[in-house]
């Protein structure tokens, strides 16, 4: 697929996303109701790679990003087309550009309902549903189960301590991304028997704070790794993206008076992305829809 596309009345070309004024990217996400601030766009441009669809006078009509984790895998996100071009093939053209640049990597993404059929037509398969829980944190929080282990703060300088654990849960090494996420984040680690068995991060994003990634081996651990951050956010907006539909962890989020605002669908192309194993670490809370 060529690096330009002609629509009904004008031609769009692909440009590197780093070359575009962040204000134009912010305007694009606002146009489709996404919460990304200019700061969030700047972070994502540091964390991954991307293109934008621009016309001859520099107006932005679409974007797409990919986040490589080694040579074999990448997540895709921020695939946005402006309302004016959503029915004119811009989304498919943007994805063709991503495929070209990602080569033979295995891919995963979280699809909105509107984009789902496009991704199916491009060879993606459904794996799971992500539930976006969010709202103002109220006090007191629900009573958590008995803690098995010790919670402690982890500094950004020591984030490599959780890299191997995260790789077991996520399926690919994303140590570079963890380093970027840790900048300005609050990090909590859970230790048991002298071993780190879980961790969570809280950072600013969108309307308030997102709690994620959350990596744990069971619901009780995940609850404690989430509650420690919710306690710091009383009266403020918090968000947790999780694939847990039922169970103690989902119940805890509901009892915390967070509500499900929307869902997206985890999809993969190539090897299967999700591979949950009993008593093994699992990603209970996503770093973000684009980052997974």
Query: How many domains does the chain fold into?
Result: 2
Q: Which domain holds residue 28?
A: 4-104
The alpha carbon of residue 254 and the mean position of all alpha carbons in its chain are separated, in whole angstroms, by 21
CB burial of residue 143 (10 Å; 0-12, 13-18, 19+): exposed
CB burial of residue 85 (10 Å; 0-12, 13-18, 19+): buried
- Is 243:267 a contact under the CB 8 Å cutoff? no
For 99, the 3-state DSSP assignment is helix
Reported as a single tens digit per residue, the pLDDT across 36-54 is: 999 999 999 999 999 999 9
pLDDT in the model for residue 11: 86
Q: Which of 104, 122, 155 is the last residue of a domain?
A: 104
Reported as a single tens digit per residue, the pLDDT across 65-86 is: 999 998 999 999 999 998 877 6
Helix segments in the chain, DSSP class H: 22-31, 38-47, 90-102, 116-121, 163-170, 175-182, 219-230, 248-255
Q: Which of 88, 104, 120 is the last residue of a domain?
A: 104
Reported as a single tens digit per residue, the pLDDT across 135-178 is: 999 999 999 999 999 999 999 999 999 999 999 999 999 999 99
Q: Is 59 in the same domain as 180?
A: no
Q: Is 13 in the same domain as 156?
A: no
Q: Is 142 in the same domain as 178?
A: yes
Strands 208-216 and 237-242, bridge-based pairing: parallel
Considering the chain, what is the average pLDDT of its residues? 95
Query: Please, which residues bridge with residue 73 across strands?
Result: 106
| CATH number for position 230 | 3.40.630.90
Q: Is 158 in the same domain as 272?
A: yes
Residue 119 lies in a domain: no
Q: Which of 51, 86, 104 is the last residue of a domain?
A: 104
pLDDT in the model for residue 1: 45
Q: Is 150 in the same domain as 265?
A: yes
């Amino acid at each position: 697929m060529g690096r330009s596309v002609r629509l009904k009345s004008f031609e769009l070309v692909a440009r590197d996303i780093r070359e575009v004024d962040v204000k134009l990217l912010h305007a694009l996400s606002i146009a489709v109701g996404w919460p990304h601030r200019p700061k969030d766009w700047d972070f994502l441009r540091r964390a991954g790679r991307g293109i934008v669809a621009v016309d001859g006078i520099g107006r932005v009509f679409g974007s797409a990003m990919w986040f490589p984790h080694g040579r074999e895998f990448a997540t895709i996100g921020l695939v946005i087309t402006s309302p004016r071009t959503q029915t004119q093939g811009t989304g498919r053209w943007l994805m063709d550009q991503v495929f070209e640049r990602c080569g033979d990597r295995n891919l995963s993404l979280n699809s909105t309902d509107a984009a789902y059929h496009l991704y199916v037509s491009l060879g993606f398969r459904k794996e799971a549903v992500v539930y976006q829980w969010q709202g103002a944190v109220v006090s007191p929080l629900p009573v958590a189960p008995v803690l098995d282990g010790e919670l402690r703060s982890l500094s950004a300088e020591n984030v490599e301590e959780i890299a191997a654990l995260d790789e077991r849960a996520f399926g690919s090494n994303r140590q570079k991304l963890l380093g970027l996420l840790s900048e300005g984040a609050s990090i909590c680690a859970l230790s048991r028997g002298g071993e780190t068995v879980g961790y969570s991060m809280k950072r600013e994003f969108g309307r308030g704070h997102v709690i994620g990634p959350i990596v744990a081996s069971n619901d009780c651990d995940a609850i404690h790794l989430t509650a420690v951050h919710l306690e710091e956010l009383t009266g403020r907006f918090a968000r947790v993206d999780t694939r847990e539909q039922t169970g103690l962890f989902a119940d805890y989020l509901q009892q915390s008076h967070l509500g499900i605002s929307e869902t997206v669908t985890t999809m993969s192309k190539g090897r299967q992305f999700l591979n949950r194993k009993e008593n093994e670490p699992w990603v209970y809370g996503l770093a973000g829809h684009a980052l997974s």
